[in-house]
Chains A and B, each alone.
Chain A
Amino acid sequence: MARRLNVWRWVVLGLAALYFLVPLAASVVFTVDVPGQGVTFDAYTQIVSTAGFGSSLLLSLELALATIAIVLLLMVPAMVALRLSAPRLRPVVEVVCSLPLVVPPIAFVAGIATVLKWGPDHLSRTPLFETFVAIQNPSFPFVLVLAYVVMALPFVYRALDSGLRAVDVRTLVEAARSCGAGWPQALVRAVLPNLRGALLNAAFLTLALVLGEFTVAQLLGFQPFAVWIYSVGGSQAQLSVAVSVLSLLVTWALLLALAGVGGRTRTASSRG
């Protein structure tokens, strides 16, 4: 019985691997095997040398970092407070945080675009006008960070919620407070270290979201990595596939780096 189960596991794993790996392998082969020339990495060197590769990737990373910082600063204290003092509000917050999943990005960005157009008309005589200009600065469009924070809410909420479920936040905070820690210290020294996994998960998901986000950035007219990929890939079939393979690798590399950093700090802290 167990043996048969084992066989089935391998069959399922094999099928899943085929499903994922065959298209990937096909893509890679398509980009490196040019008919008549043999194996060549021209497509990849071409991408890296194309104008905008570095700057768009950097912009995406900056946006991701800012989004992660803001969404965590917003959600961690909120979720801990929710857990400690208003557990009855949890369903409400859950629904609010899930709304971005329900509202399509296209509707979301249409709303943002309307506000961005409408705002300056009405606020031209106030300092807010400057704000509207500043958040649309093409070298660092803060309006995208605002949009991404909202879009990341469902993922961050879920990651943090599962993390908070696993620890007894109330007891940890009270134990810390009875040891002479004030509220901020209790949060930073007693609760956050035990949410490391959840924070890392939230950061992961947000990073992946921001690196891959296309709709909002494209429609608001900014050019982070995903939009740049689209713009360079549109003209040549081989280049466009090479670009998607590359973007996959970049995202993987970043996620692995994040996991590595998280893992290393964990062992370091347990030693110290």
Chain B
Amino acid sequence: MTATTLEPTTVGKAATVEFQGLRREFGATVALDGLDLTVRPGEFLALLGPSGCGKTTALRMLAGFEHPDSGAVLVDGEDVTRVPAHRRDAGMVFQSYSLFPHLNALDNVAFGLRMRKVRTAERRSRAAELLELVGLADKGDRFPHQLSGGQQQRIALARALALRPRVLLLDEPLSALDAKVRLALREEIRRLQQELGITTLFVTHDQEEALSIADRVAVMRAGRLEQCAEPGELYGRPATAFVAEFVGTMSRIPGRLAGPDVEVLGLRLPAEGTPPTASEVDVLVRPEAVHVTADEGGDAQVIATAFLGATTRLTVRLADGTEVKADLPTHEATALGAGAAVRVSLPQRPVLVAERAA
């Protein structure tokens, strides 16, 4: 499966997308509260956040299905805020199955070309080409109800790409699928996106999904952008406590600020970034950064273990009752069953500090 004739036409015109101060209220709820975000040409950007954070609203504004109360949406520097949805040049894949039930797969893919009055023969050959691109060349005459969920979303992807859009919008396209299909399709989407070099926005609430396929991930919260960074940076150097806890697993250990350092677990570690004003703080640590060693005299206790394959995740209760998650290589963790007394420590590295949770 190669990109055939699609490639040259789309690579040349990968678009920049800019959201400028987008604001939108639905009655009493603020869906977007001044969102600023720039998507680079050809980039795969994931919009990540809990439900109700405004990520879908932002995507729908780019598609032209919602209009901002204030702010602007720019594609290649051109303000498209007032352009109606059907002239936006944006292909979209929806969360729910959105194929036209009365058309077969081929006609579904050709729908946009038909709207553009492309001649029948050309329309059919292009639609067939797109079906091949998503690996369903033999399913052209099937109707949506005869296709599995994963196949339907592939067809929807082909349909979205049929008009050679400048941006591809994916609104949680995998959330209705079961785990195995989801994994396969997400790799497929990434492969296609890289082949076509099309600027892509991908909305998801699944952080693993976002981190695994996006070039950059924009974490949103309550209608605002918290942080937009590459997956590695987002995970390793989260800008805020919200990002730290939303992306990956984070444990909070009580500590006390002392100047630029923080005292935690009997250690004195430098605090990263600008520490909060209160002196009673929580130190945020990833499970893989926590050292757990068996120690008869240790004041911490393993309360649960979960086998994850190469690693085992321990849940450890500290002397003050705080629960901390720690990942250990499985061969080391075998000795540490539930109830074992252990000692917990942290590496000598700067740590992220947040205000103490209520």
Contact = CB atoms under 8 A, between A and B. Distances in A.
Contacts of B94: 171, 174-175
Contact of B143 (A168, A177, A179, A270): A270
Contact of A179 (B64, B84, B163): B163
Nearest to B88: A178
B98 interface: yes
B246 interface: no
Contact of B115 (A167, A168, A180, A269): A180
A194 B87 CA distance: 24
B98 A181 contact: no
Interface in B67-115: 84-88, 90-92, 94, 96, 98-102, 104, 111-112, 114-115
Interface in A166-188: 167-168, 171-172, 174-182, 185-186
Contacts of B92: 174-175, 178
A193 B116 CA distance: 19
A182 B100 contact: no
B102 A269 contact: yes
Interface in B139-190: 143, 156, 159-160, 162-163, 169
B102 A177 contact: no
A174 B63 contact: yes
Contacts, number: 74
A171 B65 CA distance: 11
A208 interface: no
Interface residues of A, number: 22
A270 B65 contact: no
Contact of B86 (A181, A193, A194, A196): A181
B159 A177 contact: no
A230 B162 CA distance: 61
Contact of A185 (B91, B100, B115): B115
A130 B184 CA distance: 71
Contacts of A168: 96, 98
A258 interface: no
A47 interface: no
A172 B101 CA distance: 9
A177 B85 contact: yes
Given A174-B65, A270-B102, A270-B104, A182 B86 contact: yes
A178 B90 contact: yes
Interface of B: 63-65, 84-88, 90-92, 94, 96, 98-102, 104, 111-112, 114-116, 143, 156, 159-160, 162-163, 169
Given A171-B98, A270-B102, 9 more contacts: A167-B101, A171-B94, A174-B63, A175-B159, A176-B115, A178-B85, A178-B90, A179-B112, A270-B104
29 contacts: A167-B101, A168-B98, A172-B100, A174-B63, A174-B92, A175-B92, A175-B100, A175-B159, A176-B111, A176-B115, A177-B64, A178-B63, A179-B111, A180-B86, A180-B112, A180-B163, A181-B86, A181-B111, A181-B112, A182-B84, A182-B86, A185-B115, A189-B111, A189-B115, A190-B100, A194-B101, A196-B102, A270-B102, A270-B143
